[in-house]
Amino acid sequence: MNLRETKIQTLFLLMVLGGALGWAIGLTWPALSGFEFQISYLSAIFMLLLAATLLFWTLTSRKKLRSGVEFSTHSSRVIARSAALAMATSRVSSLALGLYLALGIYNKVVLNTPAGDSRFQISLFTCLGSLACVAVSVWLEKICKLPTQTKR
């Protein structure tokens, strides 16, 4: 399997895709269900806890994951799993960032009600957690990067 380093352009594209999906949900949900899309505090709590957990994993294992050191078989498995975790988290968090940003803007601009303002604040906290997840996962992926092999 050939895995490439995550590019910021890819994360931005996923964020835009999530934003388009969030805006579409904001527009179509009321027509299909008869009420506005609810944004729960649990989404913000989940994203912030995910960012904190990923940060804890990165801080506690970064000395073990530093590149340039001879690794045992077990350590190389941990590196590969950490890199896969970082890559998946950065992509999903980018989608969530765009989704909740679009839903928050929809609730603030289109609805313009006190409930919409409350949903906007919740979505901002969720976006903050998503952005923290993206930042920490990109950092973890950089730590897990193995040194390139020189050609002979």
Summarised one tens digit per residue, pLDDT across range 39-66 is: 999 999 999 999 999 999 999 887 766 6
Indicate the SS3 state at residue 150. coil
Contact in structure between 123 and 103 (CB atoms under 8 Å): yes
pLDDT of residue 152: 47
CA nearest 117: which of 125, 126, 107? 107
Domain definitions of the chain by residue range = 8-65+74-144
Q: For residue 150, name the pLDDT band (cuts at 50, 70, 90).
A: very low
Residues 83-117 have pLDDT tens digits of 889 999 999 999 999 999 999 999 999 888 898 89
Q: Any idea what DSSP says for residue 109?
A: I
pTM: 0.85
